[in-house]
Amino acid sequence: MLEKQSQSNVKLNNLRLILKTIINHKSVSRADLVRLTRISKPTVSNLIENLLSQNLVQEIGHGHSKTGRKPILIKFNATLKYFLVFTIGREEFHIALSDLQGNVLDMRSKAFDHLQTHHDRLMQLRIYMQGLLDKAGINEGELLKIHGAAPGILVNPGQPLKWADHGFPDGQDMQDFLEKAFNTPVLLNHSSKISLYGEKIAGSAKGIHDAVYIDFGYGLGSAFMFDNKIYFGADRSAGEIGYTYSGQEEFNTYALKPHGWGALESVISGRALCLKGVKAVEKYKTSLIWDFAQKDKTKITAKIIFDAARQGDSCARKILRDSFGYFNMCLCNIINMLNPERIIIGGGISNAGDFLLDFILKEIKGKILIQPEIVISELKDKAAIIGAIAYLIENTDFFTEL
């Protein structure tokens, strides 16, 4: 009995290996698979017949050969099912449809109206996702999985991911809402970690073994990669640097509230900069912040603070200098503890580019043991989309799930 189980496990593992090898290549021959997997030729032939019978792979014609018979090429049936992925934040969402090999068929983005309720935002996300499927002529039965990336924290094991500062009404979380809407399994992950996944595949973390991703958005988050693997933590909530403390007084007085604002992101984040900008114009109407916001406090954004500072506005520069003083303290601690090869800064605030780095690089000099490279993400919003698809491919057992 044990021997039969062992043989069955070996066959299943070999099938997975063969299928994974085919997926990782556009097309391969049986001889290629023997060479790449070191599985015997007769076994490879039998396994290929098994995969062909399940329509997991397809024969696509003959390849080239310098001598003898031309080999028959095999490819993964990447359109047997499809992936639907999305990233969602406070300001906007991005969605993409891909085949099982990660080829993006279509993408779409949409900004939210600030007056929309949480339910309205979910409804709009669902409508646009359905529109993407309709345009491609794909029905929900052809979806294998949906994967979403959102800012938020997971406080208790098994609890649904929630938007930071955007908790859903009782009985309606993002995962439950979308699974009922599309009748498809839905995975959710932190956008910071999935963005680092994207950077690892096609961005600034490609070829890097140890990296830190800083997610500068309306809130503040991060993600870590150790030995080329994204670190999620015991309860998948690692990387919440927004919840770090910058001093003893803050530690003694700041009460942590799950799904609320952390101590550090209350000082340095998109939201924190907006609030500081509002307070500043209440005192100094001569600041460029006031002019750039068209004399309307509700229009003040982190971008306006950076734009005013770039133009030499002393009020805006002071806001950034003071705010980044807290962030730089945290960053130095991270660098000295983790010794990363590269720090990647993404999120909406990263659009300030090198001007943002001016508030970091000079200030941390002499305060860290080994200087890592600090860069601005070039993938921007695409990082999370690329990462969401890559995560699905890496975490899907195509042999048993298709």
* Alpha carbon separation from 304 to 130, 270, 287, 325, 328 (Å, rounded): 35, 11, 11, 20, 21
By percentage, how much of the chain surpasses pLDDT 70?
A: 92
Q: In this structure, are residues 46 and 388 in contact, taking their beta carbons and an 8 Å threshold?
A: no
Q: In this structure, are residues 389 and 98 in contact, taking their beta carbons and an 8 Å threshold?
A: yes
Q: What single letter denotes the amino acid at residue 354?
A: D
Tokens of 378: 């070039």
Looking at the predicted structure, is the pLDDT value of residue 111 above 70?
yes
Q: What is the structure's pLDDT at 61?
A: 85
Q: Which residues pair with 86 in a beta bridge?
A: 95, 148
* CA angle 189–192–267, rounded 5-degree value: 125
Q: What is the structure's pLDDT at 154?
A: 59
Q: Which residues pair with 107 in a beta bridge?
A: 96
Q: What is the mean pLDDT of residues 57-70?
A: 81
Give the separation between CA 204 and CA 375, rounded to whole angstroms: 8
Report the candidate in 224, 227, 246, 256 with the shortest Cα–Cα distance to residue 343. Answer: 224
Read off the pTM.
0.90
Q: Is 153 helix (H, G, I), strand (E, B) or coil?
A: coil
Give the separation between CA 155 and CA 230, rounded to whole angstroms: 19
DSSP alpha helix (H) spans, 38-117? 41-53
Tokens of 211: 């990296």
Looking at the predicted structure, is the pLDDT value of residue 162 above 60?
no
Q: What single letter denotes the amino acid at residue 118?
A: H
pLDDT band of residue 89 (cuts 50, 70, 90) is confident
For 60-69, 188-197, 277-286, 366-375, which range has the lowest pLDDT when averaged over its residues?
60-69
Q: In this structure, are residues 77 and 98 in contact, taking their beta carbons and an 8 Å threshold?
A: no
For 35-44, 177-186, 246-255, 322-331, which range has the lowest pLDDT when averaged over its residues?
246-255
Cβ neighbours for 18, distance < 8 A, ≥ 6 positions apart: 33, 37, 39, 44, 47, 48, 51
Give the separation between CA 198 and CA 63, rounded to whole angstroms: 33
Strands 342-346, 373-376: parallel, antiparallel or unpaired by DSSP? Answer: parallel
Tokens of 63: 């390849």
By percentage, how much of the chain surpasses pLDDT 90?
A: 73
Looking at the predicted structure, is the pLDDT value of residue 179 above 90?
yes
Give, to the nearest 10 degrees, the angle between helix 30-37 and helix 2-23: 110
Domains of the chain, CATH where assigned? 2-76 (1.10.10.10), 82-191+386-401 (3.30.420.40), 204-378 (3.30.420.40)
Q: In this structure, are residues 385 and 93 in contact, taking their beta carbons and an 8 Å threshold?
A: no
Q: In this structure, are residues 302 and 349 in contact, taking their beta carbons and an 8 Å threshold?
A: yes
Cβ neighbours for 121, distance < 8 A, ≥ 6 positions apart: 88, 93, 112
Q: What is the structure's pLDDT at 156?
A: 62
Give the separation between CA 290 and CA 285, rounded to whole angstroms: 6
Q: What is the pLDDT of residues 118-145, one digit of tens each?
A: 788 889 999 999 999 999 999 999 999 9
**Better pLDDT: 156 or 229:** 229
Q: What is the pLDDT of residues 319-371, one digit of tens each?
A: 999 999 999 999 999 999 999 999 999 999 999 999 999 999 999 999 999 99
* Mean pLDDT (the chain, rounded): 90
Report the candidate in 84, 6, 7, 21 with the shortest Cα–Cα distance to residue 399. Answer: 21
Q: What is the pLDDT of residues 267-311, one digit of tens each?
A: 999 999 999 999 999 988 889 999 999 999 999 999 999 999 999
Beta-strand (E) ranges in 112-269? 143-150, 186-190, 211-216, 220-226, 229-231
Looking at the predicted structure, is the pLDDT value of residue 4 above 60?
no
**Better pLDDT: 165 or 110:** 110
Q: What is the mean pLDDT of residues 389-394?
A: 95
Strands 72-76, 82-88: parallel, antiparallel or unpaired by DSSP? Answer: unpaired
Looking at the predicted structure, is the pLDDT value of residue 166 above 60?
no
Q: What is the structure's pLDDT at 81?
A: 96
Looking at the predicted structure, is the pLDDT value of residue 70 above 90?
no
Tokens 């970690």 belong to residue? 193
Q: Of all helices (H) and strands (E), which one includes residue 222?
A: strand 220-226
pLDDT band of residue 2 (cuts 50, 70, 90) is very low
Q: What is the pLDDT of residues 207-225, one digit of tens each?
A: 999 999 999 999 999 999 9
Percent helix, strand and coil across the chain, each rounded to 5? 45, 20, 35
Q: What is the mean pLDDT of residues 149-159?
A: 69
Tokens of 67: 């001598």
Q: What is the structure's pLDDT at 147?
A: 96
Its sign, for the CA torsion 110, 115, 121, 124, is: negative
Q: In this structure, are residues 126 and 140 in contact, taking their beta carbons and an 8 Å threshold?
A: no
